[in-house]
Amino acid sequence: MKTERANAKINPYLDVVGLREDGYHNIVSIMQTVSLCDLVTVDFHPGVHTSIRISASGNDQMPTDCRNLAWRAAEKYLQRVQRAGSVQIIIQKNIPMAAGLAGGSADAAAVLRALNRLCGSPLTAEELCEVGVTLGADVPFCIRGGSALVRGIGERLSEIPAMPQGHLVVACRGEGVSTPWAYGALDEKYGKHYSQSTATETVKHITEEWKNQSLLTSCAHFYNVFEEVVPTVHGHVETLKQIMRDGGAVQAMMSGSGPSVFGVFEGQDAAFEACARLREAGAAAFVCHPCEKYE
Ligand code: ATP
């Protein structure tokens, strides 16, 4: 039996730079693992037939059948390594769902890492990512974790300097956002014409600041293209950002396709106070910090 952390991610930088012929979008993103996490326990007993069972706590909205990305990860993994048996998955769900925090992708990645260990590590990290990208664009990053520059549809990961340690708050309120809907809204706004324009330059600014351990000054370059479409239909986004700014956040912005918002704070006390204000306003809110990549 193995228990893995399945950490949420935030996007300090996220731009859509092209629409592919197959309908997927090419992105340029800096993704960062944060300490808010689900706990995923996996047990595997080899056998003639495959059976997969999920039990969950923490959120009764999460599907526990084959609609769960963790379930599909187990199925794909066993197909890839040509093994069969019974898989038992227990998910303690802490990450808000459909929030732009890649909770489902994190759970799927945790199952892939755990099953690979339980089977004696037959797949390399790269091979696990190949399985992962067939499940979802954020899964390869969630297999690796830490800080990374992510391109293509999410399958091209490059090493960047680690995000300097700091005090983060992640908050979420109201209805989730469907990622396909958010991409569709961007397609409508941009007439499906995207450009690389400033992405490379801005990513360079952020990573240079991180190399110099300057988190607070890097915040001025943070950007998320989905802020152009999601807050207009999701009133809570601006409210949560404003509570964070009023509480002293150096930066407050949406993560992924939203509607979760993260804030960067100079001190721990300010982060905890802002978290309390956000909860008073009805949000799920968490103080957290950046994490390094998985071992
Ligand atoms: P991303 O940032 O990768 O777009 P997200 O954080 O916006 O992801 P998820 O929390 O992964 O979204 O959930 C999106 C949908 O996927 C949910 O509405 C849920 O029905 C489904 N789902 C399947 N498996 C899981 C899982 N293990 N955890 C959460 N949601 C899951």
Question: Tens-digit pLDDT profile for the chain (295 aa)?
Answer: 999 999 999 999 999 999 999 999 999 999 999 999 999 999 999 999 999 999 999 999 999 999 999 999 999 999 999 999 999 999 999 999 999 999 999 999 999 999 999 999 999 999 999 999 999 999 999 999 999 999 999 999 999 999 999 999 999 998 889 999 999 999 999 887 888 778 889 999 999 999 999 999 999 999 999 999 988 888 899 999 999 999 999 999 999 999 999 999 999 999 999 999 999 999 999 999 999 999 8
How far apart (Å, rounded) are the C-alpha atoms in residues 110 and 106?
A: 6
Nearest Cα to Cα of residue 15 among 290, 228, 259, 251: 228
Residue 9 is a catalytic residue? yes
**How many angstroms from the chain centroid is the CA of residue 221?**
20
Distance CA 280, CA 201 (A): 39
- Tokens, residue 142: 């969630």
Length of the chain, in residues:
295
Instruction: State CA 92 to chain mean position distance.
Output: 17
CATH 3.30.70.890 corresponds to the domain 167-288: yes
Alpha helices in the chain (DSSP H): 69-81, 103-118, 125-133, 139-144, 179-190, 199-211, 215-218, 230-233, 236-246, 268-280
Contact 151, 31 (CB under 8 A): no
Domain boundaries along the sequence of the chain: 2-159, 167-288
Q: What is the dihedral of CA 92, 263, 206, 229, to 10 degrees?
A: 90
**CA 100 to ligand 1 center in whole angstroms:** 8
Beta carbons of 10 and 145 less than 8 angstroms apart? no
Check residue 244 and give its pLDDT: 98
Instruction: Give distance in angstroms: CA of 104 to centre of ligand 1.
Output: 4
Domain 2-159 is in which class? alpha beta
Catalytic residue among 15, 38, 107, 138: 138
| Residue type, position 242, single letter | Q
Name the residue at shortest CA distance from atom 15 of ligand 1.
98
Encoded tokens for 281: 């306003």
For residues 40 and 31, the answer to whether their CB atoms sit within 8 Å is no
Q: How far is the CA of 218 from the centre of ligand 1 (A)?
A: 29
**Residue among 102, 45, 44, 36 at smallest CA distance from 69:** 102
> Best of 11, 69, 76, 142 to mutate for ligand 1, by most ligand atoms within 8 A of CB?
69
Q: Looking at residue 273, what is its pLDDT?
A: 98
Atom 13 of ligand 1: nearest residue by CA position: 98
Q: Give the Cα separation of 206 and 14 in Å (integer).
A: 12
CA 96 to CA 38: how far, in whole Å?
10
